Amino acid sequence: MYQATLSRRSYRFSDLRQLLAKASPARSGDYLAEVAADSAEERMAARIALADVPLKTFLQQLLVPYEQDEVTRLIVDSHDALAFAPISHLTVGDFRDWLLSEQADSAMLARVAAGITPEMAAAVSKLMRNQDLILVAKKCRVITSFRNTLGLPGRLSVRLQPNHPTDNLQGIAASMLDGLLYGSGDAVVGINPASDSLPLLEKLNYMLDDVIQRFAIPTQSCVLTHVTNTLRLMERGAPVDLVFQSIAGTEAANQGFGINLALLAEAQQAALSLNRGTLGNNVMYFETGQGSCLSSNAHHGVDQQTCEARAYAVARHFSPLLINTVVGFIGPEYLYDGKQIIRAGLEDHFCGKLLGLPLGCDVCYTNHAEADQDDMDTLLTLLATAGLTFLIGVPGADDIMLNYQSTSFHDALYIRELLGLKHAPEFADWLTKMQITDERGQLRDTAANHPLLLALQGENR
């Protein structure tokens, strides 16, 4: 039992699960799940009580039973007690103060990351203002590599997302060219296919690999199909760089995605055996999003933000090159408006970085949410200030296959110019070599006889 008194009224919370849920900032998904605070006063009382909870409590009182959930077992069994030692004496409130202190510099945060559980990260985020989430995430350094180096300070990468509603190869190639000529694609060139047809998925893999190899682009490709399809593609000898999968924070929710930890491990080993990375061997790409556990009725009464943080334990186990929260994609049933989407994006980025993950964000919303592109501009600017690893680049910010609004190649130009952020270093050198950018990293005017334009014209013939 946890309790706090506010305005002469005593509030009681039956267990840690309820305390975390009641302490969460208001969002539609938690109201839908009937776990949210009934009032702003109850929410504040929950935060007061949560601040006094020792971090050690999260190792003793499990939100989802150990016997029922392999994600819980992963969190408990992989916990690094030595890394936890420097902060093991703290309460959640003390932990917030420590994270904001000068003592918690980038080196120290990297040392303790393996000792922080997702529930600890989620708990402390509930006590933090937006500026706190930004400041601490900025101090976290998470660097990964495959054919280039991602996550270096002062850098911001872009996933080039050339989706097409019918998986038309020429349409995808045109969007891919558009993005490359705007300097996008250093995180990954990643296609969400409309079809699960294995022959078509194979064609997409070969097309992406052909462009990357022909022009010696220091980046990686990914066809974002189900992990079982990617395993079959690798068995057929397709040139797979990264293995993609959507993941969630409970075993039951992952079962809804048709996956488990053993399957992800099998896919990771298969990708590693291909030895396609030139600089590193981070071969996994994960996507997450608040609300996925609730949408599959697999949340065990845990609030959606804590469930999201638990998904990061799954990702951390597989040392991904990339992971991003598709923050507003699931819809207003889970994040109702721009305010809720902005808060969720900052929470996800903070928790992921604190846990040692290369967190990116699909800064996005669906057309029936109470949000617009101005909200996305705000979130993009806040996340980039906080050290975002990568964002999404979609032609015109309008994904015509997935039917949602994201960020564009132009948005990446805006944020790089505003904050002086650069591409991944190897990709930046390639852009200069190809005369797409000048020595300062500024875009050049593209001539009609540019090799990439000529190549596309040849393909279209």
More confident residue, 453 or 144: 144
Look at residue 411 in the predicted model and tell me its pLDDT: 98
Look at residue 458 in the predicted model and tell me its pLDDT: 65
Strands (E), 173-229: 188-191, 221-223
Across the range 363-384, mean pLDDT stands at 97
**% of residues, the chain, pLDDT over 70:** 98
Q: With 0-12 CB in 10 A as exposed, 13-18 as middle and 19+ as buried, what is 135?
A: middle
* Rounded CA separation 12/4 (Å): 7
- pLDDT, tens only, 314-361: 999 999 999 999 999 999 999 999 999 999 999 999 999 999 999 999
Q: Which of 251, 256, 252 lies closest to 226, judged by CA?
A: 256
Q: Is 237 helix (H, G, I), strand (E, B) or coil?
A: coil
Look at residue 7 in the predicted model and tell me its pLDDT: 84
Across the range 55-70, mean pLDDT stands at 98
- pLDDT, tens only, 289-310: 999 999 999 999 999 999 999 9
**% of residues, the chain, pLDDT over 90:** 94
**To the nearest whole number, what is the mean pLDDT of the chain?**
96
What contacts 24+ positions apart, CB below 8 Å, involve 449-458?
450/181, 451/215, 452/177, 452/180, 452/181, 452/215, 453/177, 453/181, 455/211, 455/214, 455/215, 456/173, 456/174, 456/177
Across the range 46-60, mean pLDDT stands at 98
* Rounded CA separation 101/11 (Å): 31
Look at residue 461 in the predicted model and tell me its pLDDT: 52
Look at residue 452 in the predicted model and tell me its pLDDT: 84
Look at residue 460 in the predicted model and tell me its pLDDT: 56
* Rounded CA separation 266/248 (Å): 18
**Torsion-angle region of residue 6: left (phi > 0), alpha (psi -120 to 50) or beta?**
beta
Q: Is residue 455 predicted with pLDDT exceeding 80? A: no
Look at residue 451 in the predicted model and tell me its pLDDT: 83
